[in-house]
Amino acid sequence: MHKRFLMALLLSALPAFAATDNQWFLAESTLTYHVSHPLHQTEGVSHAAKGKGVCHAGQCEFLTAVPVKSFDSGDSNRDLHMLQVTRGGQFPMVVVRTRLPESADASTTIHADLEVQFAGQTVKYSQVSFRQVTQGDEIRISGTIPATLSDFKIDPPSLLALPVKNEIPVRVEMTWQKQK
Amino acid sequence: MSRKTWKVVRCVSVLAVSLLCSTQLEGQIASGMLSGTVTDPSGKAVADAKISVKNVVTSQSAETQTDSVGHYNVPSLTPGDYEVSVSAEGFSTNVSKVTVAAGAKQSMDFVLGGALSLGDLGISQDQAQGSAQDQARLNKRSHMLMLHQRLGLIDTIPLVATVIAGTGAGGKSTSSSDRYLHLALGSVTGDLYFLSAYYAIRAPKMPGEPVRGEIRWHKALAWVHGPGMILTPILGAIAFDEKSKGEKVHGIASLHGPVAIVTAAAYGAAILSVTFKF
């Protein structure tokens, strides 16, 4: 009698021990690129990123995409020039893929290997560190991707014969929510 | 059976056997093999990935799975074109084409992409795919605006020289050489100006793009220096004529100087508006 009761209890608990897949979606985002020129410091901001994360068997894959033309530097002429220089007419999206262990959501700092597709090039950035703050089913991450123009084979634009700096760091601030 | 008959039977048997052997040999030489490794984007081997190899012409297919180290092997493939499909749980399916040559051991490795695609983010194929035409339009726009910028900057030199020469050409001065120098410099300024303006006006516009930022000032100032660059030489021609006759510049011609100064100032402000952030 006791054995049968225990078996029934164990069997009913099995589903709880089975691995469940988690899904995440990007609720909010602010991506900011920074371009330096001796006469100008320019920042372009986008809030138009879309993202999704799928966790399976302890590994999570995240995909984020943002349209190149969604970046706003405050000057439409400059934005159109940026679009031309980054081949945004032909490659309209910036796509970022990364894989993280599911346990990473417990840390305050994560180090992610990113695969970035931009301007027709695919570049890998290793161990990019991001700060992470967890609030219930929401995770806020922030960090900077150390991108450069040469990584993506972009000719540096110039003003008055002076080119911009090669470094174009991209500041990332994102809020991911667990899908219920 | 007679000896002769036995000889014939023996010969035929030998021929038949040798023909059979050569056909089998040909069959053995003719088939090819496809093998390789399947990994994930990080380079880790993917075990139990399903490999499906389908002949494009005959639609005959063969299937296998990768082993624990991600390796697969598909032997005895008839030479020809094949479509190879690789799938595994948690990854997107990878489809490639390969041509298997007779007797060849073909090697083909696969790196499986992630399970997520842009479609999962609600991004359509049209949104994700750009157009060479759009890029060409952007390139033409940037090229023409670059020419506009360079000509506009070069034009500041004869413009400043014209203004300086103007001080010697007008007022109480009676020197005709100063007037001709001012006229020549003014002509060069005007020619370069209208050439620069041509590139700015004719540069392709991007439909649906609102005008924002410092560029608005640059475009607004064009409504000052543009008409000014037309009016200044007209007034200048009248003034030149009066001076040539030995008269004092009077009437509408006396506006040549002030109009020229306002035009030059607007031109300088237009350049500064896109050079510095105010």
Q: How many domains, in total, are found in chain B?
A: 2
With CA atoms as reference, the chain B residue closest to A39 would be B276
Q: Min CA distance, B216 vs chain A (Å)?
A: 9
Contact A80 B138 (CB under 8 A): yes
CA distances from B241 to B29, B181, B245, B256 (A): 99, 15, 6, 13
List helix spans (H) across chain B: 3-30, 125-128, 132-154, 156-169, 176-202, 215-244, 256-273
Predicted local confidence at residue A5, as pLDDT? 56
Predicted local confidence at residue B18, as pLDDT? 54
Domain that holds residue B166: 132-273
Give the C-alpha separation, A61 to A54, whole Å: 5
With CA atoms as reference, the chain B residue closest to A115 would be B41
pLDDT at A149 over 90: yes
**Domain edge (last residue) among B64, B95, B118:** B118
| Residue B55, SS3 per DSSP | strand
Tell which residue, A32, A60, A58, A44, has the closest CA to residue A139. A60
Does one domain contain both B65 and B166?
no
Q: What burial class does residue B269 get, using C-beta atoms within 10 Å of its C-beta: 0-12 exposed, 13-18 middle, 19+ buried?
A: middle
Predicted local confidence at residue A78, as pLDDT? 92
DSSP state, residue A72: B
ipTM tops 0.85:
no
DSSP state, residue A37: -
Predicted local confidence at residue A2, as pLDDT? 62
The set of long-range contacts for B171-180, using a CB threshold of 8 Å and a minimum separation of 24, is B174/B246, B176/B244, B179/B240, B179/B243, B179/B244
Of B130, B142, B210, the CB nearest to A76: B210
User: Which has the minimum average pLDDT: A39-48, A127-136, B14-23?
Assistant: B14-23
Q: Which residues of B touch A159 (CB under 8 A)?
A: 275
Contact A90 B131 (CB under 8 A): yes
Tell which residue, B88, B107, B104, B255, has the closest CA to residue B170. B255
Give the C-alpha separation, A48 to A65, whole Å: 9
Does one domain contain both B168 and B137?
yes
Task: Examine residue A66 and state whether it is found in any structural domain, yes or no.
Answer: yes
Q: Which residues of B touch A36 (CB under 8 A)?
A: none
Task: For residue A37, give the CATH number of its domain.
Answer: 2.40.128.110
Give the C-alpha separation, A94 to A2, whole Å: 61
Low-confidence ranges of chain B (pLDDT < 50): 21-27
Tell which residue, B214, B127, B270, has the closest CA to residue A68. B127
**Domain edge (last residue) among B118, B144, B162:** B118
Let me know how long chain A is.
Answer: 180
Task: Examine residue B80 and state whether it is found in any structural domain, yes or no.
Answer: yes
Residues 6+ apart with CB under 8 A from A136: none
Given pLDDT bands bounded at 50, 70 and 90, which one contains residue A1?
low
Task: Examine residue A5 and state whether it is found in any structural domain, yes or no.
Answer: no
Task: Examine residue B11 and state whether it is found in any structural domain, yes or no.
Answer: no
Task: Examine residue B181 and state whether it is found in any structural domain, yes or no.
Answer: yes
Task: For residue B82, give the CATH number of its domain.
Answer: 2.60.40.1120
Task: Examine residue B251 and state whether it is found in any structural domain, yes or no.
Answer: yes
Task: Copy the structure tokens of residue B89.
Answer: 């749980």
Helix or strand holding residue A16 (H, E): helix A2-17
Q: Which residues of A touch B128 (CB under 8 A)?
A: 65, 92-93
- Chain B contact present for A40, CB below 8 A: yes
Predicted local confidence at residue B23, as pLDDT? 47
- Chain B contact present for A91, CB below 8 A: yes
Predicted local confidence at residue A4, as pLDDT? 63
